[in-house]
Structure 1
Amino acid sequence: MRGIGRNVGKITLRKTIPIVDKLNMVMQDRDNLKEEVGEMKKSLVDLHVKVNCIVEKQGEQGVVDPSTIPPFKSNCALLLDLIHIGKRCDLCDWKKRAVARGEVHEVDLTAHVHGADLGEGNFRVVLIEIKASHAELWKEVVYHHTLGEVGVGGFVLWPKLFLTIYP
């Protein structure tokens, strides 16, 4: 009774029951999330081991030289990028105007688009609709300089900061 105060009756105690129940639910949800994060970390480590095994086997067969493949990044940024693959997006210019519509196709740093490395912070996007065919590409390549030259169905390299990705 000291913690609650004077003049505590049955009604006051009954009013605190839903609050305590809600607090217990929140704490249980927090514990469940901690377990899920732990499981995801374990599965990420397992995936890292499997990828390394595959790379080593391909290197033994002469298919891929493991030294040319960058190490697997197990950070949150890569995981967040991977969830965008296959999602529709708007490609925006530097004034944040939509110049085309596309679908995220690749987020791997080592992927190539028209002979150029994708690099960090860029996505490979397949064009579905071009709204401004005169819009210039972010990274000039030998063959194409504008979205119109690439055409619908073609791939472009686009910074993820200038993509509006839809769920």
Structure 2
Amino acid sequence: MRGIGGNVGKIALKKTMPIVHKLGAVSRERDNLVDELDVVKKSQGDLHQKFNCFVDKQGEQRDVAPPTIPLFKSSHSLSPDLVNLGKRCDLCDWKKWVIARGEVHAVDPNTHVHGAEMGDGNFSVVLMEIIALQSELRKEDGYHDTLGEVGVGGFVVWPKLFLSIYP
């Protein structure tokens, strides 16, 4: 309770559970990547030994330095939002009322949806059920004004703060 503060109720604790699960998934993924890196380093050392044996057999008596492998550099940093891809979600309005249901399709802010980038803090969602047909889109797409016009199976860009993502 020290980190959360006083007057903590059941609801506040239940709301922190998805965050705890996401952190656990990210830490397991990090541990898996560290294990894979250890395997790659070991295999690189084995290859270095085999190469030195081959050079010795060829009559050269010098030791060859291990090859340097450039580190992988991505243009995008790994995002914690990646764990949300493919998950079911509720689209909420500003009153936090559920107005539609869908599935998270894209989380990268540089993804283009309807000819424009999604931008920071937005997810692309495939609509699976629309409860309030006349609800306005949170980010205009230039083609539609309401969720009903987009229709089931269509894509919308929705702020992640107004998404309730299922674990």
Is TM-score (shorter-chain normalized) higher than 0.5? yes
Identify the residue that residue 139 of structure 1 maps to in structure 2.
Answer: 139
Identify the residue that residue 107 of structure 1 maps to in structure 2.
Answer: 107
Identify the residue that residue 116 of structure 2 maps to in structure 1.
Answer: 116
Identify the residue that residue 61 of structure 1 maps to in structure 2.
Answer: none
Query: Over residues 5-30 of structure 1, what are the superposed CA-to-partner deviations in whole Å (9 max), with x where a residue is unaligned?
Result: xxxxxxxxxxxxxxxxxxxxxxxxxx
1:72 aligns with 2:79: no
Structure 1 residues without counterparts, runs of 5 or longer: 1-33, 53-70
| 2:155 partner amino acid | F
Identify the residue that residue 11 of structure 1 maps to in structure 2.
Answer: none
Q: CA deviation at 1:135?
A: 0.4
| 1:159 partner amino acid | P
Equivalent pairs counted in the alignment come to 109
Moved over 3 A (4+): 34-44, 49-52
Q: CA deviation at 1:40?
A: 3.8
Give the RMSD, CA atoms, in angstroms.
2.6
SS for the counterpart of 2:157 is strand
The structure-2 alpha-carbon separation of the partners of 1:38 and 1:113, relative to structure 1 and needing over 3 Å to count, comes to same
Identify the residue that residue 157 of structure 1 maps to in structure 2.
Answer: 157
| 2:160 partner amino acid | K
Identity %: 59
TM-score (norm 1): 0.58
Aligned partners of 2:121, 2:29: CA distance in 1, in Å? 28
